[in-house]
């Protein structure tokens, strides 16, 4: 665990690890005997004509719940669908977990190949939204939003995660191709590559505008990039898409480049495993591989009361089971020993002001948390800038009273969105 | 699947920088130790008795209130002990035992706990206690009378009282260096300027107190005192005497900086501190009390919620 600096005259700074020029080759994990793919939706949305137990699937085949469903997954193995079950995630989101028993040899699905010669937005929307990095193309067909800028983030949002940095460094050719395809299919002229300044020289050949991100966390956060790098502040409660900017990770862009280059939808994902001692290693895995397999393959072990996290230490999500699969947007898996788990407390705010100093959005966190603790979410939003939060987690990280401030903020946003949905449905 | 391992599931972030309330309080107490030791060296066993009684009774009141209110026992966070220690530092070494007991009772019960405990008190609990004691038993804080039976190697007259009674000329008999190293009468831990400044610097550098408040408080005192001195050099003392005597230094580094009753935004912190300094000198120079730090801090505590409304515009804030 990272400790604070001895001196604390100014605000605490958490730095991204220094840039690495050469990465060791990622460790390749053998495809497991069973993979699980998560598709957003519920079991009642599954059309038995389209998806049922016993269906044979090929590697790279698109799997949907029904003909009309917008969400889909790409099978990462060749095999037979063995089970469909419901998976409930945070904040009431539900997924259908599709388990596939894998065969030893891969047979590649060939529906995408004919489309690959002539890249179009339609083919990207139909096949590439579940590639590693989960690029979201749906925004381009939203008539209310006009996108004029695509930002490719070559730096990972969370600390200790090196997935996108690896993609940008070691897959520069695929990245270049991906940038070209993005420009071609979306018609967007301005593509910005957001990277640390010391890596500028390696990207001259990529046909994108280079912009520097700072080395202090959370400067690679999309909203922080909007504010500091693009100098277009997103108004509270809006998203970058409303401002005409869409974000893709370097890994997603490289995957797009690879897909059109090879005619196959990529099914292997690079992810960063953060070990219990804080060291990192890069792994190459099939999407859908259970985390249990990765942990075992890296000679790590998890025991009772440890913590298993998807994502990095600041913004990740703790899991309750090792059977959770790797998803297209799983950039990191973090293992934390029970001795290193910091606990939260129910102490009140002592008004020390650390959170106010550290907040990159300049929010009055000390006041906000008082209202959120009392469940006055609307007051928090109206008077204390709840919606300015860029969700970096630094407030909880520095809190002297160990209040789970970040959790309160996300809970407040979720509760308010529920109220708003209910009100909209009543009209 | 049945014998599945149970993991700890909680919300991000999964790291913490390691700060804690008890760490904060213990470091503030540590920073106060040099001044307290000097007080004990100067005044001997009576000073030690006052400090011990004050710290222990403050903790005892806290424990009693926790039990009465059926709340978790909170003496472990060090805040009650800190209140007891700072309160003792402001008292003369000959404070009667019952006054110490009453003082800690006021600080813990009326100053802190009835508002909901740590973090909820609108006023600095120590200042509330001292103000009530000063008003109720005026002679207890008359250092000249309280310390009359001691034999000191330095002038046994409180510099601020001398200033008030005889004008600026009386202060020429005090050597600033003597005042700075604690050769003056006053509270047990309030006279040793060198120790207080060292402790204050330590706290500021480590981030346990907010430097903006301390420095602006001192600047406020120095500037206001200089203005008064320029207007009437015979009646009003210069900045040096104001900075080095009374509760000025302990006020700047240990009292005005109390977390709960002080602002956190940059501009309000500067206004808060400066205002405290100005008020202190106003009370000293044109009020009836020789020292104004206690009441000045209570006044700035009062305006703190209003001041803290001056805050930077949150990024993306609409309108």
Please indicate whether, in this complex, the C-beta atoms of A306 and B8 are within 8 angstroms of each other: yes
Same domain, A296 and A155: no
Helices (H), A26-162: 113-116, 121-127
Asked if the Cβ–Cβ distance from B12 to A315 is below 8 Å, we say: yes
pLDDT tier for residue A9 given thresholds of 50, 70 and 90: low
Q: How many CA atoms lie within 13 A of A352 on its CB side?
A: 27
Q: In B, which residues are within 8 Å of A296 by CB distance? A: none
pLDDT (tens digit per residue) in A67-109: 888 899 999 999 999 999 999 888 888 999 999 999 988 899 9
pLDDT > 80? residue A14: no
The predicted model gives B157-164 an average pLDDT of 90
Which alpha helices (DSSP H) does A163-322 contain, by range?
163-170, 172-186, 222-224, 250-262, 291-297
Residues A87 and A190 in one domain: no
Please indicate, yes or no, whether residues A83 and A133 belong to a single structural domain of this protein.
Answer: no
Structural domain includes residue A140: yes
**Can you name the residues that pair with A192 across neighbouring β-strands?**
A151, A209
Point out the domain boundary residue: A53, A69, A102: A102
The answer to the question of residue B6 being in a domain is no
The Cβ-side half-sphere exposure at A308, using a 13 Å CA radius, reads: 23
CA A155 to chain centroid, in Å, comes to 12
User: At B91, which helix (H) or strand (E)?
Assistant: none
Q: Do A411 and A300 belong to one domain?
A: no
Residues A251 and A301 in one domain: no
Judge if A117 and A254 occupy the same domain: yes
Please report whether residue B311 resides in a domain: no
- A233: contact with B, CB 8 A cutoff: yes
DSSP type of residue A243: G
Give domain status of residue B183, yes or no.
no
Strand residue runs (E) in A127-237: 149-153, 190-196, 209-213
ipTM of the complex: 0.90
**Is the residue at B252 inside a domain?**
no
Cα–Cα distance for residue pair A309/A283, rounded to 1 Å: 16
pLDDT over threshold 70, residue A19? no
Q: Which chain A residues in 170-229 lie under 8 Å from chain B, judged by CB atoms?
A: 223, 227
pLDDT digits (tens, 9 = 90+) for B39-62: 999 999 999 999 999 999 999 999
Q: Which of A4-8, B93-97, B155-159 has the highest mean pLDDT?
A: B93-97
Q: What is the pLDDT of residues A323-380, one digit of tens each?
A: 899 999 999 999 999 988 888 888 999 999 999 999 999 999 999 999 999 999 999 9
- Mean of the per-residue pLDDT values for chain A? 90
CB contact under 8 Å between B264 and A349, yes or no, is no
Residue A5: its pLDDT value, please?
65
In a domain, B186, yes or no: no
What value does the mean pLDDT take over residues A18-33? 79
Quick: pLDDT tens for B192-220: 999 999 999 999 999 999 999 999 999 99
**Between B5, B10, B18, which is nearest A302 by CB?**
B5
Exposure string of B266-296, with b = 16+ CB inside 10 Å and e = fewer, is bebbbbbbbbbbbbbbbbbbebebbbbbbbb
What is the Cα–Cα distance from A261 to A325, expressed in whole angstroms? 27
| Residue A200: per-residue pLDDT | 84
What is the per-residue pLDDT for A10?
61
Distance (Å, whole) CA B290 – CA B47: 23
The domain of A56 spans 29-102
DSSP H helices in chain B? 21-43, 45-68, 79-90, 97-105, 125-136, 143-146, 159-166, 176-180, 193-206, 211-231, 239-244, 248-250, 266-286, 293-307
Q: Is A125 among the domain residues?
A: yes
The CA distance from A400 to A383, in Å, is 24
Pick the residue of B315, B317, B319 with the most A CBs within 10 A to test the interface with A by mutation. B315
Do A273 and A374 have their domain in common? no
Q: Count of domains in chain A?
A: 4
Residues of A in contact with B119 (CB under 8 A): 347-351, 401
Do A122 and A97 belong to one domain? no
Q: Do A363 and B314 touch (CB under 8 A)?
A: yes
Q: How far is A412 from chain B (nearest CA, A)?
A: 14
Same domain, yes or no, for A295 and A372? no
- Residues spanned by the domain of B76: 21-140
Asked if residue B85 belongs to a domain, the reply is yes
In whole angstroms, give the CA distance from residue A194 to residue B48.
Answer: 62
Taking the C-alpha atoms of residue A220 and residue A232, their distance in angstroms, rounded to an integer, is: 15
Position A8 confidence tier, pLDDT thresholds 50, 70, 90:
low
Q: What mean pLDDT is predicted for residues A139-151?
A: 90
Residue A1 has pLDDT above 60, yes or no: no
Measured from the Cβ of residue A130, the count of other Cβ atoms closer than 10 Å reads 26
Residues of B in contact with A227 (CB under 8 A): 315-316
Report CB contact under 8 Å: A315, B318: no
List the alpha helices (DSSP H) in A15-171.
113-116, 121-127, 163-170
Q: Is residue B265 predicted with pLDDT exceeding 70?
A: yes
Residue B262 forms contact with A (CB below 8 Å): yes
Instruction: Please judge whether A308 and B7 are an interchain contact, meaning their C-beta atoms are less than 8 angstroms apart.
Output: yes
Q: Is B301 within the bounds of a domain?
A: no
Do residues A179 and A250 both lie within one domain? yes
User: How many A-B residue pairs are in contact by the CB < 8 A criterion?
Assistant: 183
> Domain for residue A15, yes or no?
no
For residue A6, being part of any structural domain is answered with: no
CATH (domain of A212): 3.40.50
- Smallest CA-to-CA distance from B86 within B122, B112, B115, B120 is with B112
> Would an 8 Å CB–CB cutoff place B118 in contact with chain A?
yes
Segment A250-258 mean pLDDT? 94
Number of domains in chain B: 1
What percent of chain A has a predicted confidence (pLDDT) above 90? 61
Is some CB atom of chain B closer than 8 A to the CB atom of A341? yes
Pairing of strands A245-249, A149-153: parallel
Q: What percent of chain A has pLDDT over 70?
A: 96
Report yes or no: A278 at the B interface, CB cutoff 8 Å.
no
Q: Is residue A124, in this structure, part of any structural domain at all?
A: yes
Average pLDDT over residues A303-319: 92
Task: For residues A312 and A363, state if they share a domain.
Answer: no
Instruction: Compute the distance between CA of residue B84 and CA of residue B117 in angstroms, rounded to an integer.
Output: 15
Pairing of β A317-319 and β A332-336? unpaired
Q: What pLDDT is stored for residue B1 in this prediction?
A: 47
The pLDDT value given to residue B243? 95
Q: Does residue A421 lie in a domain region? A: yes
Has residue A278 been placed in a domain? Answer: yes
**Does residue A66 form part of some domain?**
yes
Report residue B135 CA to chain centroid gap. 18
Q: What CATH code is carried by the domain that includes residue A272?
A: 3.10.20.90
Return the sign of the alpha-carbon dihedral for residues B153, B154, B155, B160. Answer: negative
Shared domain for A165 and A252, answered yes or no, is yes
Predicted local distance difference test score (pLDDT) of residue A4: 60
Q: DSSP of A378-410, one letter per residue?
A: HHHHHHS-GGG-----HHHHH-TT---HHHHHH
Contact yes or no for B316 and A235 at CB 8 A: yes
Residue of A nearest to B319 (CA): A235
Q: Is residue B187 part of a domain?
A: no
Please tell me the predicted confidence (pLDDT) of residue A12: 65
Q: Which of residues 10-39 of B touch A (CB under 8 A)?
A: 10-21, 24
Q: Is the pLDDT of residue B35 over 90?
A: yes
| Closest chain B C-alpha to A125 CA, distance in angstroms | 31
């Amino acid at each position: 665990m990272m400790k604070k600096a001895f001196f604390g005259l100014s605000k605490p700074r958490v730095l991204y690890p220094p840039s690495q020029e050469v990465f060791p080759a990622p460790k390749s994990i053998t495809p497991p005997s069973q993979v699980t793919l998560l598709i957003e939706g519920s079991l009642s949305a599954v059309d038995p004509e389209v998806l049922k137990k016993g269906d044979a699937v090929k590697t790279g085949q698109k799997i949907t719940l029904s003909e009309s469903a917008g969400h889909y997954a790409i099978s990462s193995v060749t095999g037979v669908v063995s089970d469909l079950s419901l998976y409930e995630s945070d904040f009431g989101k539900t997924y259908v977990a599709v388990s596939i028993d894998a065969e030893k040899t891969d047979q590649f699905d060939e529906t995408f190949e004919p489309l690959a010669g002539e890249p179009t937005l339609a083919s990207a929307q139909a096949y590439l939204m579940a590639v590693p990095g989960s690029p979201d193309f749906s925004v381009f067909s939203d008539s209310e939003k006009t996108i004029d800028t695509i930002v490719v983030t070559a730096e990972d949002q969370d600390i200790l995660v090196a997935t996108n940095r690896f993609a940008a460094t070691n897959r520069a050719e695929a990245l270049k191709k991906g940038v070209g395809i993005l420009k071609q299919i979306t018609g967007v002229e301005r593509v910005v590559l957001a990277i640390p300044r010391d890596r500028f020289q390696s990207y001259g050949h990529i046909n994108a505008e280079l912009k520097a991100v700072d080395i202090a966390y959370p400067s690679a956060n999309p909203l922080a990039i909007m504010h500091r790098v693009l100098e277009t502040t997103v108004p509270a409660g809006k998203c970058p898409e409303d401002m005409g900017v869409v974000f893709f990770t370097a890994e997603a862009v490289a995957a797009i480049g690879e897909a059109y280059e090879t005619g196959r939808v990529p099914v292997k994902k690079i992810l960063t495993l953060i070990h219990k001692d804080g060291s990192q290693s890069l792994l190459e895995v099939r999407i859908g591989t259970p985390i249990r397999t990765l942990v075992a393959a890296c000679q790590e072990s998890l025991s009772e009361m440890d913590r298993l996290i998807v994502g990095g230490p600041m913004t990740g999500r703790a899991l309750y089971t090792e059977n959770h699969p790797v998803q297209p947007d799983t950039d990191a898996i973090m293992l934390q020993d029970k001795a290193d788990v910091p606990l939260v407390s129910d102490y009140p705010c002592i008004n020390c002001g650390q959170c106010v100093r550290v907040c990159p959005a300049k929010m009055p966190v000390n006041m906000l948390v008082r209202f959120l603790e009392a469940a006055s979410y609307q007051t928090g939003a109206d008077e204390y800038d709840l919606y300015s939060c860029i969700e970096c987690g630094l407030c909880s990280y520095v809190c002297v009273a160990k209040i789970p401030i970040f959790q309160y903020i996300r809970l407040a946003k979720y509760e308010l969105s529920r109220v708003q949905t209910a009100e909209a449905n009543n009209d | 699947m049945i014998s599945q391992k149970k993991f700890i599931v909680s919300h991000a972030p999964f790291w913490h920088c390691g700060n804690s309330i008890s760490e904060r309080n213990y470091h503030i107490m540590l920073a106060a130790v040099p001044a307290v030791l000097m007080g004990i060296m100067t005044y001997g066993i009576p000073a030690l008795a006052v400090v011990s009684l004050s710290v222990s009774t403050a903790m005892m009141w806290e424990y009693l209130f926790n039990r009465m209110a059926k709340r978790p026992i909170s003496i472990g966070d060090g805040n009650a002990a800190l209140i007891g220690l700072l309160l003792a530092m402001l008292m003369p070494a000959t404070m009667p035992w019952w006054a110490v007991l009453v003082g800690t009772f006021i600080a813990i019960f009326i100053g802190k706990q009835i508002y909901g405990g740590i973090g909820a008190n609108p006023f600095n609990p120590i200042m509330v206690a001292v103000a009530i004691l000063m008003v109720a038993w005026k002679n207890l804080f008359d250092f000249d009378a309280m310390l009359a039976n001691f034999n000191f190697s330095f002038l046994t007259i409180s510099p601020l009282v001398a200033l008030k009674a005889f004008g600026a000329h009386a202060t020429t008999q005090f050597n600033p260096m003597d005042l700075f190293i604690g050769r003056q009468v006053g509270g047990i831990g309030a006279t040793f300027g060198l120790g207080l400044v060292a402790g204050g610097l330590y706290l500021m550098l480590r981030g346990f107190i907010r430097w903006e408040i301390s420095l602006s408080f001192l600047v406020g005192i120095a500037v206001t005192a200089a203005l008064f001195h320029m207007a009437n050099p015979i009646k009003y003392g210069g900045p040096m005497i104001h900075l080095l005597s009374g509760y000025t230094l302990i006020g700047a580094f240990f009292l005005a900086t109390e977390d709960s009753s002080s602002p956190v935004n940059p501009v309000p912190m500067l206004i808060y501190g400066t205002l405290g300094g100005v008020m202190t000198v106003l009370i000293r120079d044109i009020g009836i009390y020789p020292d104004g730090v206690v009441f000045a801090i209570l006044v700035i505590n009062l305006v703190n919620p209003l001041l803290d409304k001056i805050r930077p515009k949150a990024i993306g804030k609409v309108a």
